[in-house]
Amino acid sequence: MQKVREKGVQGYKEEVLIVMIMVKAKIYITMKPELEYLNSASQKKEDLHRNGFSEVEDVAESKYIELYLRNSKSKKGLEKRVDEMCRVLLANKVYEIYRFEIEN
């Protein structure tokens, strides 16, 4: 939200409120399934078992990122930009995969 002062009628100043509509992108990044053995999650499973939590069958780790974006483009355009952000910067394409969803 942004406040802007403008000259109003008869020289009086009035505040005009500019509301930017934001959307949220939820991004989930996980290890590629074929590289799970590199993940520290298997070590965490062993640590949990050692500490008496034998009911744990498996451990999966992931990254969760929320981005708040100005809704200045179409949903298709936003999806394209978020995909580009993930490919270029947020996920390591060598050993991670990602998926995302965009909420209004």
Distance CA 67, CA 22 (A): 10
For residue 90, being part of any structural domain is answered with yes
Q: What six digits make up the tokens of 45?
A: 């499973």
Structural domain boundaries enclosing 97? 21-103
For residue 62, being part of any structural domain is answered with yes
For residue 66, being part of any structural domain is answered with yes
Whichever domain contains 64, its CATH number is: 3.30.1280.10
Residue 82 sits at the vertex; the CA angle it makes with 81 and 83, to the nearest 5 degrees, is 90
For residue 54, being part of any structural domain is answered with yes
For residue 15, being part of any structural domain is answered with no
Q: Give the total residue count for the chain.
A: 104
- What is the SS3 assignment for 86? helix
Q: Give the predicted TM-score (pTM) of the model.
A: 0.70
What is the full per-residue pLDDT of the chain (104 aa) written as tens digits? 544 455 555 655 666 666 678 899 999 999 898 887 777 777 888 999 999 999 999 888 889 999 999 876 688 999 999 999 999 999 999 989 999 999 97
